[in-house]
Structure 1
Amino acid sequence: MTRSTRNWLAAGIGMWALLALSPVRTGLEATLAGHMAAQLPLLVAAGWWLGRGLGPVRADELAGFNRHGAPGVLLAAFTLAFWLLPRSLDAALQEPAWEVAKFLALPLLAGVPLGRSWPRLPGLARAALWANLIPMLGVMGWLYIQSPVRLCNSYLIDQQDLLGWVLLGITGMLALYWVGWAFFGGLGRAVATDRAR
């Protein structure tokens, strides 16, 4: 194990442990925006770092199962979709078993597979995923703002509105980043890399 992989592994474990600390966990879960837009992505990031700590992604890694990284990305996407449901967030707040499941599933079933599979995914496929993720976040934000009823029973309607605006802000930042990446060489390099494979 190289020093770099040890650092990634330590960062992943450290982030995971930090998020599990009671003051941090309850602080993030006190608001819907903190729960969905901060805690969930940070748990996935901890798993991503753990995945980086497993060493460089090899071309033949799980070649029969995770060809071009698509199955791993799909596993991560379905895991994220499940934990983004308002019902899942409510259950995690009300049932300790669900909270434990969230803290295990997001790093291990979303973060690690994403970290191991994303580098193997063709550049155009990564661009297509970004192009779908950005409007999806915008639609989610708009739905949270416009919904006349509470979607999460554990949070008040004003928390729902705040989350909607946070998601719209994230959508705007991601859109700017993606446009810059596409127009200033990132997309061209990704296509060239795909052709060289």
Structure 2
Amino acid sequence: MMRWGLSGAAFALACGAQFWVAADPVIHMLVQIPLLAICGWLLPLARWELPKEVVRAVLILALVVGAIWMLPRSLDAALITWQGHIAKFATIPLLFGLPLALVWRHLGSLLKGFLKCQSVSMLLFLGFLYTHAPVRLCNSYLVDDQVRLGHGFALVAFALVILWLIPVFASPSHRETKGKFHEFSHIRH
């Protein structure tokens, strides 16, 4: 029951952000779209156990939908047409957030690390693209808004790197390794 409430809260916040989406691409891309993805991730359906045969197909579906919503054309369509608007509110939670949550526990640490690195590199690429493009990429937003969005992408990328590195350096296995290194260095002296 709590997952329904959290998912509903994320969806309500995403709906509330709609008021500012038309005027600010930062709210659109870095607030509303992540909230919609979180809404799908938190759905109780995300606890279902997937058959191993479909994990790869579900992951590909989530990655394709996520890539589509990174395109400036998709953002414009969501602002200009009612079909794009409905597609955003339906596909991001149900075809990106939920499928990603369904497959995440089935992925090995190497693939999870690769997807995290790919996310950071894509955010940095988008940050560079939006700040250095000689023309407007989204017809619905001004060039200054586009540059702010590019800086926002870069900030999110750096924040994710820090967030994902904290457990690496705070984990007990890292401290054990560090302790063993100090024991070894003490022996050599």
Residue of structure 1 equivalent to 2:179: none
54, 62, 72: which one aligns with 2:58: 72
CA distance in 1, matches of 2:81, 2:10: 23
- The amino acid across from 2:137 in the alignment is L
Residue of structure 2 equivalent to 1:181: 167
- The amino acid across from 2:27 in the alignment is G
CA distance in 2, matches of 1:186, 1:33: 37
3, 10, 15: which one aligns with 1:15: 10
Is residue 27 of structure 2 the alignment partner of residue 34 of structure 1? yes
- Name which of structure 1's ranges 177-186 and 81-90 shifts more when overlaid on structure 2: 177-186
Residue of structure 1 equivalent to 2:45: 54
Q: CA deviation at 1:79?
A: 0.3
CA distance in 1, matches of 2:136, 2:116: 29
Q: Is the 8 A contact 2:14 2:33 kept in 1?
A: no
CA distance in 2, matches of 1:86, 1:55: 29
- Over 3 Å counting, the alpha-carbon distance change for 1:81 and 1:186 in structure 2 is farther
Deviation track 1:99-133 (CA, whole Å, cap 9, x = no partner) reads 00110000000011011111111111101111121
Q: CA deviation at 1:171?
A: 1.2
Structure 1 residue matching 2:105: 3-state secondary structure: helix
Query: Where do 5+ consecutive residues of structure 1 fail to align?
Result: 1-5, 189-197
- Over 3 Å counting, the alpha-carbon distance change for 1:91 and 1:125 in structure 2 is same
101, 105, 125: which one aligns with 2:87: 101
- Over 3 Å counting, the alpha-carbon distance change for 1:43 and 1:11 in structure 2 is same
- Over 3 Å counting, the alpha-carbon distance change for 1:186 and 1:142 in structure 2 is farther
CA distance in 2, matches of 1:138, 1:167: 6
Deviation track 1:131-175 (CA, whole Å, cap 9, x = no partner) reads 121122111101110111000000000000000111111111112
CA distance in 1, matches of 2:81, 2:96: 21
Q: TM-score, normalised by structure 2?
A: 0.84
Bigger Rg over Cα:
2
Q: Is the 8 A contact 2:6 2:42 kept in 1?
A: yes
Question: Number of residues paired by the alignment?
Answer: 174
Residue of structure 2 equivalent to 1:148: 134
Query: Where do 5+ consecutive residues of structure 2 fail to align?
Result: 175-189
Q: CA deviation at 1:180?
A: 2.9
Q: CA deviation at 1:186?
A: 8.7
